[in-house]
Structure formats: C-alpha cells, structure tokens
Amino acid sequence: MRNLLIGLVLLAGVGGSAFSLLTAPSTIASLPAHTPDLANGERMFWAGGCGSCHGAASERRCDRPREKEGEDKETYKKRLAGGRCLKTPFGTFYAPNISPDRETGIGTWTAKDFVNALKRGVAPDGRHYYPAFPYTSYRLMRTEDVLDLFAYLKTLPPIRARAPAHELALPLRWRRGLGLWKLLFFEEDGFRPRPDRSALEEHGRYLVDGPGHCGECHTPRNLLGGFIKSQYLAGGPSPDGKGWVPNITQHPKGLANWSAKDIAYALETGLTPSFDSFGGAMVEVQENLAKLPAADRAAIAAYLKSLPAIAGPERPRR
C-alpha cells in the first residue's frame, strides 16, 4: 500500500508538471523598433471592428451600444468602455474596457502587453484570454500594425467603467486549461505571403484573415469551439446562437454570382446586388469597413473572389 501511494504521488507530480508545461502561456519577448503611424492605427481600428465590441455598451449591456443624444456612431464607437456581451454555448462573455483609463482600461499597458494580447492571447498578468477575443485571427497581424493600433487607442478618451465578469460554468473559469485548447486550435505563426496570389489578393487575404477576423463568424466550429478548417468562410450557425452566417466563398450559395465590384460596393454602402441591404451583425461590420480606403475594400473583394467554392453546413429548415 505504501509503495502504491508513493507511486500515485509521483504520477500526480509528473502529470501536474506536464500539464503546467503544456499549458504555460507563450509570449513575445521583444518588439521591433517602430515609429507609430496613427493614421494606420485608425485604419486598423476600423478594420478590426474594435468599436463594435468594445464601444460603450447600453445600460442593458447585451443590447447594441447606444449613441448619446446628438452623438454620431463614429464617436460612440470610440468610447471604448466595454461591457457588451457575447452569448455563446460556453457562457456569456463581456468585452473589457480598452480605453486608456489607467484603472479600468489599458492605460497602464505596455506595447509588449498589447502585442501579446492580440497575437498570443495572453493578458499582462500572464493569464490566457478566452478565444471569444479573436486573437486566433489577430495573430496574423503584422506587429507594426498592432503597434500602430495601440498608439491610436491611446489617443482616444479614457473612460472609467468596469465590465462585468464573464458568466461561465465552473470548469471554464479555470483559464490555465485554455493552454490545452491553444495546443489544439491556436497557431502562433504570423501572416505568410503566398506566391500563387496577386499582390491585391494577398492584401485582401491579410485584411480578411487577420484584422478583419471574418472567419470568426463565417466559419463553422466544432464542439470545442475550434474552426472547422475544411469549411473556412463557408458559413454556419452564428457564434451567438442567433441566426445563420452566410457562406462567403465562391459556392453557388455564397458569393459566386457577385462580382468583385459588387462585393466592394456592398462593403462601402451596405447594399447588395439584389437591391437588399445587410442585416444583423453585418450592419456594424459594413459600417466599419466603409471607413477604410477604397483600395482596401477592393483588395477584400479580390481575395473573396479568388476563393474556391466550399460547401458549408446545411442550414436547418425553419
């Protein structure tokens, strides 16, 4: 019995050490020398849709953010108080305050803190972030673009507001376990250019797959919340469980009948070739993309037109 107990203790120790090693956060140790470009930082702000999730929330917090009287949408999207919720099968997540407030926002963060958050999904205190924060896509962003975004966020008004804690089942509150999820679904490498694509298509791929994080909604997920890579951008159930996200590949049920000009025009105006308009969460996405230069929207359109036809999951009948 004594030998058995000793063996169990040793086994537990080895298992604990292995778990600790496998789930340890991986961070970026050093950053390149860089002079921030605020104009590009604002461009990344709109491409990434920062204000759509982190913009000042309504009093109910799960509603769409509300403008103050006489305030336009651009202004409220720059009040980054956080608090907006995202309901998922795993629980309810609340977007944090990312204004420059030193107490409740990111006012005390360093540039390295910010880069590690976006590209590695690691908080300044070393905890893993939940992938409701789309670092799984932001990991592809160029470090220089992330530094420009950080510099731009520091020019926005600091707002003292603390977002609610996430509402999750007990096992999911233990963030260290996210290290195992990252081993399965998170790749740390950055954007790798593909020589088989044109420069315009590659620029669009960077915007779609990286800062635009289009795959976070337009790609179906498995039971653990990871992308089903074989159906990338092929649509599926909305991550919040409400409605269906369309296929945006060249599948007949996707964008096969849209021209590149149709796509670019829709991203600028919100109007589709069938004289309809975007609805749901895509309304805010389109409003953000309309802030980008026309060349960016043309690049996004060129990339989407270059995609193969991929059949996504079947949409359930009503």
pLDDT beneath 70, residues of the chain:
1-21, 57-72, 318
Tokens matching residue 234? 């092929």
CB environment 235-267: b (16+ within 10 A), e (fewer): bbbebbeeeebbbbbbbeebbeebebebbbbbb
Q: Which pLDDT belongs to residue 4? A: 58
| Cα–Cα distance, 53 to 50 (Å, whole number) | 6
Q: Which pLDDT belongs to residue 98? A: 96
Q: Closest Cα partner for 232 from 221, 247, 245, 219?
A: 219
Assess contact for 191 and 206: CB atoms under 8 A. Answer: yes
What residues pair up with 125 in beta bridges, in sequence order? none
Q: Which pLDDT belongs to residue 304? A: 98
Q: Which pLDDT belongs to residue 240? A: 73
Q: CA-CA distances (angstroms) from residue 258 to 43, 98, 281, 306? A: 26, 37, 21, 12
When the candidates are 3.40.50, 2.40.40, 2.60.40, 1.10.760, the CATH number that belongs to 199-306 is 1.10.760
3-class secondary-structure state, position 88:
strand
| Cα–Cα distance, 146 to 137 (Å, whole number) | 13
Assess contact for 54 and 70: CB atoms under 8 A. Answer: no
Domain ranges of the chain: 27-185, 199-306
Q: Which pLDDT belongs to residue 5? A: 59
pTM over 0.75: yes
Alpha helices, DSSP H, located in the chain: 2-22, 38-47, 50-54, 73-76, 111-120, 135-138, 143-153, 178-185, 199-209, 215-218, 260-269, 282-289, 294-306
Q: Which pLDDT belongs to residue 1? A: 66
Q: pLDDT (tens digit, 9 = 90+) per residue, 78-129?
A: 889 998 888 898 999 999 999 999 999 999 999 999 999 999 999 999 999 9
Q: Which pLDDT belongs to residue 294? A: 98
Q: Which pLDDT belongs to residue 235? A: 95
